[in-house]
Amino acid sequence: MAKKILLTGGTGYIGSHTAVELIHQGYEVIIVDDLSNSEYRTIKSIEKITGAKPEFHKFDVRDFSSLTRLFKNYKFDGLIHFAAKKAVGESVKNPLLYYDVNLNSMLNLLKLMELHKVSNLVFSSSCTVYGQPSQLPVTEDTPFGLAESPYGHTKQIGEDILHHTTLTNGQLQALSLRYFNPVGAHPSALIGEMPIGVPANLVPIITQTVAGLRSELKVYGNDYDTPDGTAIRDYIHVVDLAKAHVRAIERMLNHEQKESYEYFNIGTGKGSSVLEVIQAFERINQTKVPYQVIDRRAGDIVKIYADTTRANDELNWSAQLNLDDMMRSAWEWQKTLNL
């Protein structure tokens, strides 16, 4: 019998790519999503890619009675909790919404996991938990930094909740994946990031600019202490990231965890500047990215990239795709959105 994995937020950007990789590895995927930041047609795209249609339930994970019904109907082998609000700027304007959605969804899941004796939970954490790092590359031993936003704070609290709950709930195993900067799309160009409204992240802004949906990219500062003056991030292909979730689930199901709560950086280990991203995009897609350098963006991290040794050694995972693959697939996906 195929193992059953519940994905909250499974029609979203990272969740949909993970659904595809799980199905490829023979898992049965059940998705809960309120479609607040995604669309139902993603289910059909997952089916097109994999030949299997995930079971879909539309509701808010904060809705305890709907979630209870789901736990009564299925015996889950594991859960991956993607559902969250993720816009940093919006979280500064509306912190209560972010604490409410991101934390109450986690609490509901943990209560029902305990009640129904479901053991394995993977959590979408973020490199944002480190704040502005003082040493690079960042290892998992780097302590949490000052949260740059309520959004970032919800990821720190989420991880703390998991840590403390695994100490008291003897059968719970939890594992956080601290994503660096996920970009790109599935090579089929059937699923990808679907920003609703104005995107805040670099790569969707680049693709929308080249598609003619905005006039130019604004590069936030070129006077940082970096080789070309622009800020540095560890961009990770979303397909590589999705595969890390499969490894995380396997680790739990095979009882390979050393601690009941574990956490891993998921990046390439390589930093790229904003200008390097633009240049890779231009070269691989044979196009120009119109841009203008403006002032620094308030609160931006100057430089961050991952030490991925722990994920390489213990999850037996490493990124296989490079910046060119990320930029090519991001553009192929954007072109389908313009059709």
CA–CA gap between residue 333 and residue 188 (Å, rounded): 8
Residue 240: Cβ within 10 Å count: 23
Say how far apart CA 72 and CA 120 lie, in whole Å: 17
Q: Which C-beta is closer to ligand WQD: that of 86 or that of 172?
A: 86
If contact means CB under 5 to 8 A according to the sort of partner, which of ligand WQD, ligand NAD, none does residue 34 touch?
ligand NAD
The residues assigned a catalytic role are 151
Q: How far apart are CA 263 and CA 265, in angstroms?
A: 7
Q: Which is nearer to ligand WQD, 118 or 231 (CB)?
A: 231
274 near ligand WQD, rule: CB under 6 A: yes
Q: From ligand WQD, ligand NAD, none, which one binds at residue 35 (CB under 5 to 8 Å depending on kind)? A: ligand NAD
Residue 84: CB minimum distance to ligand WQD, A? 9
Token pair recorded at residue 85:
């609000």
Rounded least distance, CB 93 to ligand WQD, Å: 14
Verify binding: residue 128, ligand WQD, rule CB under 6 A: yes
**Closest by CA position to 159, among listed 111, 126, 181:** 126
Nearer to ligand WQD, 70 or 236 (CB): 236
Dist CA 237 CA 193 (whole Å): 12
List beta partners, residue 177: 124, 264
CA angle 324, 329, 333 (to 5 degrees): 155
C-beta of 1 vs 146, nearer to ligand NAD: 146
Q: Among residue numbers 51 through 110, which ones bind ligand WQD (CB under 6 A)?
A: 86, 88
Element (H, E) at 236: strand 235-237
Tell the smallest beta-carbon distance from residue 170 to ligand NAD (Å): 26
Cα distance between residue 303 and residue 97, in whole Å = 29
Q: Which of ligand WQD, ligand NAD, none lies near 219, with the C-beta cut-off 5 to 8 A by kind?
A: ligand WQD
Site for ligand WQD in 288-307 (CB under 6 A): 297, 300
220 binds, among ligand NAD, ligand WQD, none (CB under 5 to 8 A by kind): ligand WQD
The 10 Å CB-count burial string (b at 16+, else e) for 206-228 is bbbbbeeeeeebebbbbebebee
Nearest residue by C-beta to ligand NAD? 12
Report the partner that residue 328 touches, choosing among ligand WQD, ligand NAD, none (CB closer than 5 to 8 A by kind).
none
Residue 137 CB, shortest distance to ligand WQD, in Å, is 15
Q: From the list ligand NAD, ligand WQD, none, pick the one residue 218 interacts with, judged by a Cβ distance below 5 to 8 Å according to partner type.
A: ligand WQD
Nearest distance from residue 18's CB to ligand NAD, in Å? Answer: 9
Cβ contact 119:113 at 8 Å = yes
User: By the 8 A CB rule, do 291 and 278 touch?
Assistant: yes
138: Cα separation from own chain's centroid: 18
CB 77 within 8 A of CB 120: yes
- Taking residues 196 to 225 in sequence order and writing x for each that binds ligand WQD by CB under 6 A, - otherwise, the string is ----xxx--x-----------xxxx-----
Phi and psi dihedrals of 126, rounded to 5? -155, 155
Does position 153 interact with ligand WQD (CB under 6 A)? The reply is no
Query: What residues make contact with ligand NAD under the rule CB under 6 A?
Result: 8-9, 11-15, 32-38, 60-62, 82-86, 101, 105, 124, 126, 179, 182
Closest CA to 237 of 179, 287, 155, 286: 179
Which residues of this protein are in contact with ligand WQD, per CB under 6 A? Answer: 86, 88, 126, 128, 152, 181, 200-202, 205, 217-220, 231, 233, 274, 297, 300
